[in-house]
Each structure stands twice: as structure tokens, then as C-alpha cells.
Amino acid sequence: MIKSSYELVRVFGIPIRLDFSLIILLFLLVVQYGNPLQGLSAGIALLLSITLHELGHSLAAMAFGCRVRDITLMMMGGCATLLSMPRKAWQEFLVAAAGPAVSLALALFGLLTPVRNTFGVFLYYQIGVLNLVLFVFNLLPAFPMDGGRILRAFLQQFFMSRVKATWVASRIGRVIAVLMALSVVYSFLTGKAHGFMLIRLMIAYFIYQSAEREYQAVLFESRAGGGFGGFGPPPGDEVLVSPPPYRSQHEWRDVHRL
């Protein structure tokens, strides 16, 4: 039976898995650069960068006693699946910020390292630019992306409950997802579309769906624990509360996609 992903290596005991959708990403990169060697080199640099980004999240989470199931690299990027999350807002803030911090460090490394040979200049420049894009994009306040989780943790720490903070962050995330999808439509209408537009559209859909799903999971957890206290959406909004994903027989687990 053909699997959708395969374990490549383990780092600090964390399985690193490669999804088959990466073939599409590598193909798009080769087409984008026009040179197979440059396209594959940029693709490898991107995958390593995403892996280190996700390891930043994972190691920060492990430092707070959280369990990491695996890291999966796919066409839309990477995700570290945590079987538990730190319950304190400032800890979640640090876990969410760890990934972008790694990307920023790699961006500075790639852009500031002096290189003389032509291929080295190309490779280091790609490392710098790709990680700079990862840093900026992941800091968008589009929950459940890094920036959205940072916003949720900030709101929870200083202003409101976890449920209310999640509701605010999830709504901002859905607005950004709609704007992202509209930008793809605009690109098609103006004839400026390219292969990566499909990935952007898929990311927008993922953000839009996941924002509500994670809010419902936090709301369910709060109500199950008797801690709802009237927080959440404004009165009058219909809410369908369902259990979070990955329910085990004996416990609930927060499965967290970064």
C-alpha cells in the first residue's frame, strides 16, 4: 500500500516526514527558475529552512514539557504536530515565536554571509530571501498561523480569556484568508497568475477552515471543563460545539498545527 508520507530522519527524537505533495512544489520551483539545478537547489534550501523553522517550534514546546508527534513537510509548507500545548499564554507566545525567530536568523545568515563563487552567491541569496519570506509571511496575524497564535497569546496574557482571545484571533485570521483568496482572484483577472497561486489559494482555504475548527475545539474544552463563563462570540451567534480532533479513549489532546 502506497503511503502519503514517509519518515526521512529523526532529529532530537522527532520524526521528520516527507509528503508526496512536495513533488508539485519542486516542479513549480524548477519551472520558476528555468534551470533544473537552481530549481532543485532552491527547493532543498526551502525544505531545510522549513524543517529548521518547525524544529524551532518543536524544541521550544518540548522545553515546556509538551510532546511532539512529528514534523511533516508538504507542498503548503510544514507542520509540527504537538500532542499537548503549554497552558500558559506566555509559553505559547514563545513556542509560536520560535519558528519565525529561526527563519529570521537563517535570513540574516544567507544575506550577510560573504560568498565569492557564482553558485554560492545564488544559494546563499536564496536561503536569505526564502527565509525572509517565511519570517514575514508567518508573522501575519492569520490564526492559526504563527502570527495569529502570537496575537492570541498576547490577548490572553493581558486582556481576555483563552476562549475570547481565540475567537478574536480566529475572526482576524478568516478575514486575512478571504483577502488572500481575493488577491489570487485579482491576479487571475489581471493576467498575473503563476503556479504558486494555487498554493496561496490552498493556504487561504486552510486558514479559513482551521481558524474556526480550533476556536470550536477551545470552546468545547472550556465548556467541558466548566470554564466557559459566558465568553466567546457575541450573544446571538449560533455556535456548533464539537469535540476537537484526535480524541483518544481516555483523554482529550490538543493537536496543534504550526
pLDDT tens sequence across 226-237: 443 333 343 333
- Classified as helix, coil or strand, 11 is strand
Once rounded to an integer, what is the mean pLDDT over residues 75-89?
85
What's the rounded Cα separation, in Å, for the pair 232 and 218? 10
User: What's the chain's average pLDDT?
Assistant: 82
Whole-angstrom distance, CA of residue 19 vs CA of residue 22: 6
Cα distances from 27 to residues 2, 111, 128, in angstroms, run: 21, 25, 21
Task: For 28-72, write each residue's pLDDT tens digit.
Answer: 877 778 788 888 888 889 999 999 999 999 999 999 999 999 999
What mean pLDDT comes out for the span 96-110?
96
Alpha-helical regions (H) of 68-161: 89-112, 118-138, 146-158
The sign of the CA dihedral 251, 66, 107, 114 is negative
Domain segments of the chain as ranges: 1-139, 141-245
Which residues form the catalytic set? 54
Most confident of 72-76, 167-171, 201-205: 167-171
pTM: 0.82
